[in-house]
Amino acid sequence: MEEKDNETIGLKSIIVRYLLHWKLFLGAFLFSCIVGVLYLIFYPRTYEIKAVVELQAPESMSGAGLGLGEAAGLMKSFGLGGVSASTINMEDEIAELSSNSLINQVITTLGLNFSYNKPYSFYNEYEKTPIVLSVEPGCILPMDDIVHFDIKSSNGNIKVRVESTKIKSQDFSFTTLPAKIVLSACSFILDYKKDKISSFKIKAKYTPASWVAESLINDLFIEELSKSSNVVEMSCKDYEKNRAVNIINKLIELYNKQGVEYDKEEAYKSIAFLSGRIDSVTMALSETEIEIAKYKKLNKLTAVETDVMFYSEQMKELQMKLIELEAQLNLVSMIDSFIQNPKNKYNLVPVLLSMGNEKDGIISTYNEILLERARVIQNSSIDNPLVGTLSEQADNLRGSVYGTIRNTQEGLRLSLDDLKNKETLLLGKMSDFPAQEYAYRQLIRQQEIYQGIYLILLQKREELLMSIGHAKPKARALDQAFVLAKPVAPRKLFVAIGIFLFTLIIPVVYLFCREQIHSLYSLYKEMK
């Protein structure tokens, strides 16, 4: 109890001793108040700008529901329904939204790689600048150099001094704008932003867009609203409200444009593939029809359909199965030829030719790996280590794809041979059926196979052409970029806390250090 009383008395004595220096605390308080007021006066009001965006999955290019009669039946029987329904990987999409390449495009499009300041001012003049700089079309910008422009205008005479770390200082003089500033690295265009102003002084600076993008990425926040939705919230803070609004809106616009262009590119590749197959099938169909005409003329067959009606009724089910298996075997052969071609090593297996009956989804998994590889190359470069990993996974899986196709072909051939044997047995029982009728039926069957394949390929190509004209944006803005009502800086509460801490801590630290130094000095004198 006595020890606690002694501690209390000691603490009171320290407080009383410090309060004797109240003038020091008062001075610290007045000084911190002055600093805080100056901070509130000169620090620009900064606002938070937000936008809410829903990321939409691309429509699945499924072959189901073609509505083309026999073609639809063939598609359904073959299991050619494409890969599984498209989904969104939110982490990948957020990484793409915040990628340096996309932010770089935003910076370049809005001209934010040029900043403008009045003399002795630290604030960027985004909308109030009287002049604007741009890059001459076709000019390659310096990627690692900052260029400074000191621009002065008096009575219509404009003088510009240009400096950078890689070129010598140069002076230019103009009487009218727009004017071209020709440098060794690049040429810039100087012009009035809106109306002509006779007198002004502006310091402008060009910074590589990739450097500006690095800074903007740190200030831009993109996060999911919840794990169960495809909605993200985008926000950034800026004292130039319109600049932040333009950045977010332009980011959404370019993200959608990039996604549409990528989908169109993939669609055009598929269209080119389908057009080639349609041409080959059309040629084969024409040759078959010519053979049928020649055969009918040679054997003097005028009413074959009536003659073989009885046979057709009995073998209808068998023929349908033969047609389906023949067409399916042809399509699988197309898949095999496409994959075996070295030029298509890292191209997607066309959606039309995916085998939806596969239990383990080998081709679907293979396509998903190639899509991920293409997306990584698009967002970074082919030198990205992740590209090598995905390429290795695709190479390892390609053997399984080959095996799946080979097994499918072998199974189809066995089934086809079995049906043909049954057909031969049935025909053998009909000794009175002319031999030429059998050959004629083979030609008709071949014609129907090519017609079915032609309808499938033609319908898929038309779907792709229609999808190009009705491309759906990847991001749908639920809330366009808007400015929150209350500024986020400067915060008066933080200033008040800072004043309070400064008023207490600085004098206490000063007095404590002075006492310690005095004690050490006294100890030194006694020892001496």
Relative to beta strand 170-174, strand 179-182 is: unpaired
300 and 348 assigned to the same domain: yes
> Is residue 388 included in any domain, yes or no?
yes
pLDDT above 50 (res 64): no
Q: Secondary structure of 454-507 in the HEC alphabet? A: HHHHHHHHHHHHHHHHCCCCCEEEEEEEEECCCCCECCHHHHHHHHHHHHHHHH
The per-residue pLDDT of the chain, averaged, comes to: 77
121 and 86 assigned to the same domain: no
86 and 158 assigned to the same domain: no
Distance CA 200, CA 196 (A): 11
User: pLDDT tens-digit profile of 140-179?
Assistant: 666 677 888 988 988 778 888 888 877 778 888 888 888 8
> Is residue 453 included in any domain, yes or no?
yes
What percent of the chain clears pLDDT 70, i.e. is strictly above it? 81
User: pLDDT tens-digit profile of 129-147?
Assistant: 888 888 887 676 666 778 8
Neighbouring C-alpha atoms within 13 Å toward the C-beta of 510: 13
Give the pLDDT band (50/70/90) at residue 249.
Answer: very high
Query: Cβ neighbours of residue 318 under 8 Å, at least 6 residues apart?
Result: 419, 422, 423, 426
Contact at 8 Å (CB) between 313 and 485? no
- Give the total number of structural domains in the chain: 2
pLDDT above 80 (res 316): no
80 and 120 assigned to the same domain: no
- Tell me the two tokens of residue 306: 């009536």
> Is residue 406 included in any domain, yes or no?
yes
279 and 358 assigned to the same domain: yes
Contact at 8 Å (CB) between 109 and 115? no
194 and 339 assigned to the same domain: no
Residue whose C-alpha is closest to residue 331's, from 348, 352, 317, 347: 352
Distance CA 526, CA 164 (A): 62
> Is residue 382 included in any domain, yes or no?
yes
458 and 347 assigned to the same domain: yes
Residue whose C-alpha is closest to residue 358's, from 323, 415, 403: 403
Distance CA 221, CA 236 (A): 6
Mean pLDDT of 337-365: 66
Query: Which of the residue ranges 106-120, 124-138, 349-363 has the most confident prediction, judged by mean pLDDT?
Result: 106-120
- Pick the last residue of a domain from 438, 461, 478: 478
Mean pLDDT of 378-395: 76
365 and 454 assigned to the same domain: yes
11, 14, 36 from 6: Cα distances, Å = 9, 12, 40
167 and 284 assigned to the same domain: no
Taking CB atoms within 8 Å and a gap of at least 24, the contacts of 376-385 are 378/262, 379/95, 379/96, 379/99, 379/101, 380/99, 380/101
Instruction: Compute the chain's Rg from CA coordinates.
Output: 39
How many CB atoms are closer than 10 A to CB 124? 19
- Using the structure block, give the residue that is written with the tokens 């679907």: 364
Q: What is the DSSP letter of 386?
A: H
140 and 288 assigned to the same domain: no
Give the pLDDT band (50/70/90) at residue 272.
Answer: confident
Three-state DSSP class for 220?
Answer: coil
Mean pLDDT of 51-63: 69
Residue whose C-alpha is closest to residue 61's, from 342, 461, 373: 461
> Is residue 238 included in any domain, yes or no?
no
163 and 279 assigned to the same domain: no
Mean pLDDT of 313-325: 76
Contact at 8 Å (CB) between 295 and 301? yes
Can you state the percent helix, strand and coil of the chain, rounding each to 5?
60, 15, 25
> Is residue 426 included in any domain, yes or no?
yes
Structural domain including 121 reads: 114-207
82 and 146 assigned to the same domain: no
Residue whose C-alpha is closest to residue 116's, from 131, 99, 102: 131
List, in sequence order, every residue forming a beta bridge with 157; answer none if it has no partner: 154
Which phi and psi (to 5°) does residue 235 adopt?
-150, 155
